[in-house]
Amino acid sequence: MTVTRGWERGRAVAHPPPGIGDNGGVSLYRDEGVVLRTRKLGEADRIVTLLTRRTGLVRAVGKGVRRTKSRFGARLEPFTHVDLQLYTGRTLDVITQADTLHAYGTPIVADYARYTAGTAMLETAEKIVIVEKDPALRQFLLLIGGLRTLGGNEHDPRLVLDAYLLRSLAVAGYAPALDECARCGSHGIQRSFAVHAGGAVCSVCRPAGSASPAPDTLRLMVALLRGDWAGADASEERHRTECSGLVAAYLQWHLENGIRSLRLVERS
Amino acid sequence: MYEGAVQNLIDELGRLPGVGPKSAQRIAFHLLSAETADVKRLVNALVEVKERVRFCAICGNVAEETECRICRDPRRDAAVICVVEESKDVVAIERTREFRGRYHVLGGAISPIEGVGPDDLRIKELMTRLSDGQITELILATDPNLEGEATATYLARLVKPMGLKVTRLASGLPVGGDLEYADEVTLGRAFEGRRSLEF
């Protein structure tokens, strides 16, 4: 009688003989994503934060990225939309391959105003999708759309940024009330805007400390949230400035951490 | 945990960049077994670097006097300034022996996400240097990454009204590399900056 040892028995049942190309327990996965931020790690590596299509926010190590002979080269720079292969590491995943799908960085970095607006978009994306590896497809698509518009240079970079911030907040569940009162729900463009009340407020519900923006500023915010670019492009400079201020205040109120890049966004 | 002095040394060494607890322990025991004269030399070097080294009043490079060696050298071309991010970059460019002008060290690159804006860099000092009319060319040698490019774009726009010649270091294929492994952005840049071979 032959005695089968426990581990042999278990192995025969749980793991059939591997086929050709079967890499068994190595957890490799493929995804596409936008590089949000990079940080130096050790001698020549980088920690790359990405917003991916299927996995959500991922922090991964790009090994040897900073060397001039790196296989990744400029592919793992912020604003780049890349096709990636990664394997799951103990704390951080490791990038094994990267291919550029779109290099949004090239047109964005050529203009300083676009660059500062773009970095604010990337930082917001990172802060609004807080949980790692929790799929956030709508945020991903919104960011891709935002970067494409910004790089296309069709609209004022500030408008693109504010449109992105408003929509990103809306996707995250923090859409401001703009053409109704945030408290009583009465329709129409209101006179006041209270960040802590959740958007525009009517003269009856108006809490102390509310801002009183021009009606055209609120109309501009509605246009940006809905994607009415013809209306947004026709807006006046002072309304754009006021709109940026309100959007920034509203964003900072809802995110736990402030967005550092917003301070440096160029307001020409 | 070791006793007093040894643990102290391990803790202090462990605060250095790239030195983990095990490396700190290894270095500490190496020092413990080294000759007293060798250790004293190391101590002197550490103290001296803090006492003598400062930043050049003109370019911001590390120096042992108010001005660095390059700024004091009359043989260097005073009409050309090469802008770099860090002192380490000055050394890298000096190794090429291609550049005979002077430098300006910014102390970093514009990175809004890290909270570093134009006011945090030595840009004001650069503008003061440029305004004396002696300088004819500005070479932007910031890193060829996103932050470096953005800093170069910002500086180019700032300097434009002064009517200086502003150039940017070329980007392209590394010498000794393979074309097939080059990424699209770098290869694109190499095409953009291609030069004619005329004999």
> Which structural domain range is residue A100 located in?
10-104
B139 φ/ψ angles, rounded to the nearest 5 degrees: -100, 120
Task: Please give the Cα distance from B102 to B104 (Å, whole number).
Answer: 7
Nearest by CB to residue B174, choosing from A69, A75, A120, is: A69
Among A58, A73, A104, the domain boundary falls at A104
A to B CB pairs, distance under 8 Å: 71
Q: Which two tokens stand for residue B70?
A: 């390059």
Q: What pLDDT does residue A7 have?
A: 46
User: Which one of B85, B110, B113 would you mutate to disrupt binding with A, by most A Cβ within 10 Å of its Cβ?
Assistant: B113
* Interface ipTM: 0.77
Q: Give me A264's structure tokens.
A: 């440096």
pTM (predicted TM-score): 0.82
Domain with A220 in it: what CATH number?
Answer: 1.20.1440.120
Query: What is chain B's pLDDT, residue by residue, as a tens digit (199 residues)?
Result: 788 889 999 999 999 988 888 999 999 999 999 999 999 999 999 999 988 888 999 999 999 889 999 999 999 999 999 999 999 999 999 999 999 999 999 999 999 988 899 999 999 999 999 988 889 999 999 998 889 999 999 999 999 888 889 999 988 887 787 888 788 888 888 888 888 887 7
CA distance A18 to A132: 32
Q: Considering the domain boundaries, does residue A205 fall inside one? A: yes
What pLDDT, on the 0 to 100 scale, is given for residue A132? 87
For domain B4-52, give the CATH number.
1.10.8.420
User: What ranges do the domains of chain B cover?
Assistant: 4-52, 75-168, 172-199
Phi, psi at B173, each rounded to 5°: -80, 135
Which one of A64, A87, A104 terminates a domain?
Answer: A104
> Out of A69, A74, A123, whose CB is closest to B113?
A123
User: Do A72 and B183 lie within an 8 Å CB cutoff?
Assistant: yes
Interface of A with B (CB under 8 A): 37, 42-43, 68-69, 71-75, 77-80, 100, 103, 105-106, 109-112, 115-116, 119-120, 122-123, 260-261, 263-265
What is the DSSP secondary-structure string of A147-213? HHHHHHT-S-HHHHHHHHHHHHHHHTT-PPB-SB-TTT--BS--SEEEGGGTEEE-TTT--TT-B--
Write the residue in B117, B174, B186 that is nearest to A74 by C-beta: B186
- How confident is the model over B74-111, as pLDDT tens digits? 999 999 999 999 999 999 999 999 999 999 999 999 99
CA distance B125 to B128: 5
From the options 3.40.50.10540, 1.10.3210.10, 3.40.1360.10, 3.30.1050.10, give the CATH code of B75-168.
3.40.1360.10
